[in-house]
Structure 1
Amino acid sequence: MSATLTPADDRIAELRDEIDACDAELIRLVQRRLAVSQEIGELRRATGGTRLSLSREQQVLARFQDALGPDGAALGMLLLRQGRGRL
């Protein structure tokens, strides 16, 4: 016996496809962000600068927290850590 799909099942499948597309775009953007962050780090080191800028990191964290709340700050920290490595 085959199950029949309901309109809700069809819509769920469509929405899951949309989530998959969003995830693919997020991954692409995170990879781009990491590449840019690593280039900044290389330029800072090449010119005798410090490995990171705490004031800049605070700006990034504040932006993520303002937009997404406490979990946004955690996401921002993960992105920062990916870009610079663990301290």
Structure 2
Amino acid sequence: MSTTLENSPAADDAAQAAARIGELRTEIDACDAEIIRLVRQRLSISREIGTLRRSTGGTRLSLAREQQVLATFQDALGADGAALGMMLLRQGRGRL
């Protein structure tokens, strides 16, 4: 008696893997939605800080603070983290 592919252990493993991949992709989608929400929140806060700094005669940005943010991202995520931090800073204050 021969077994068909549909009833084989490999087919069961593939079906389980496909189901798990679907679950994990749903988790990634939820993470992405939360990241987007948090980035938007961060941008709003950053813009408010910039407005307050300018309204009190301050500069548009603080280089010391930007370096601190970049160091935090780099320490946590490496070189790509620094790039991500720079992208967030640019989004909040615009290009220099």
TM range (shorter): over 0.9
| Alignment gaps of 5+ in structure 1 | none
Tell me the secondary structure at the aligned position of residue 61 of structure 2: coil
Which of 4, 11, 34 aligns to 2:43? It is 34
The alignment yields a C-alpha RMSD, in angstroms, of 1.4
Distance in 2 of aligned mates of 1:41 and 1:62: 21
When normalised by structure 2's length, the TM-score is 0.86
Question: Which residue is equivalent to 2:53?
Answer: 44
Displacement of 1:82 in angstroms is: 0.1
Choose 1 or 2 for highest CA Rg: 2
Residue identity (%): 75
Which of 75, 82, 86 pairs up with 2:84?
75
Residue in 1 aligned with 2:20? 11
Number of residue-to-residue matches in the alignment: 85
Give the unaligned 5+ runs of structure 2: 1-5
Aligned to 1:23: 32
Name the residue aligned to 1:54: 63
Deviations 1:25-51 (A, max 9, x none): 000000000000000000000000000
Please give the alpha-carbon distance, in whole angstroms, between the structure 1 residues aligned to 2:90 and 2:36.
16
Matched, 1:85 2:94: yes
User: 4+ residue runs of structure 1 moved beyond 6 angstroms?
Assistant: none
Q: Which amino acid aligns with 1:20?
A: D
**Counterpart-to-counterpart distance in 2, 1:51 and 1:25:** 28
